[in-house]
Amino acid sequence: MSTITSHLTYKYGADFATKPTRDGYGEALVELGHANPNVVVMDADLAKSTRTEWFWKEFPDRFFDAGIAEQNMLCMCAGLSGVGKIPFASTYGVFVAGRAWDQIRTTICYTDLNVKIGGAHGGISVGPDGATHQALEEIALMRVLPNMTVLSPADYPETKKAVHAAAAMEGPVYIRFGREAIPIITTDESPFEVGKGEVFRQGDDASIIATGPMVKPALDAAEELAAEDGLNVRVINIHTVKPIDADLIEQAAKETGAIVTAEEHQVMAGFGSAVAEVVVQRHPVPMRFIGIQDRFGESGEPDELAEVFGLLPRDIKRAVKETIAAKK
């Protein structure tokens, strides 16, 4: 029997409903539009793909298409925030984090403006769009910026909560979401607090600390390790990459003595690095990092790419066994 906490819909081997996290982004924006007249949305000619067209249809006077001009879009959002609006800038993560990084850094973060950024098409699961559209570096680019909060939700319900949480707080926020439909593993009642991780599975042999769409493979890996090897592995969902839940990570290091991180992003300077920064300062233990290993993405089907890039449960299981062996 699974040891997942009760607020999850997760049950190993069960069929899961699936939904893209970008749908959660679009639906939450519409909900916010009805609740708060100060919420406005901007897009860079990708409204259909980012799902901001749903807000556009409901509130045409509060939607602005900046065209393929990401730098201008972020500056316009900065201006809107200055007159009391809560702007959401929306486009592909690779474009907004790459092309508009200077504007995010100097215009928005330096002056701590209340601008929210939706970064779509995170990770390799974009699939056939290939390396130019697969955002694999934006967590690193965003988390290094002072005043920036970085959210990486695990599924559709968590993405909706992330958008609402971003609107409710002051200051810059980056929200990462994807294109492909992924399993829904949380519920509307699942806790979501910025800066707080959640233990999704208890265990004391090792910890898998995952973010975004890698939470589900982490849970699968833990269940298979229990069934095949008798290992009891803790799984932690970290939806807030910055500020990261250092206390929860330290507790996992002390109580399990081995940590594997899992992310659909470059391991270099990414989520795994953020976890390692906590571990090395508070309680060093053996670690392994599942993610993109210093290479660009490729075109292909999402499941094929997950295999090529080593993001499957079997890859996580191998890493867990290595960390457990290293602590003995």
155 token code pair: 């599924």
SS3 of residue 308 by DSSP = helix
Q: Are 25 and 175 in contact (CB under 8 A)?
A: yes
Inter-CA distances, 80 with 86, 93, 238, Å? 7, 21, 31
For residue 173, the SS3 value is: strand
Measured torsion, CA atoms of residues 78, 82, 86, 88, in degrees rounded to the nearest 10: -10
> Which residues sit opposite 198 in a β-bridge?
237
- Would you list the DSSP string of 140-158? HHHHTSTT-EEE--SSHHH
Q: Provide the pairing of β-strand 149-151 with 116-120.
A: unpaired
Catalytic machinery residues: 70
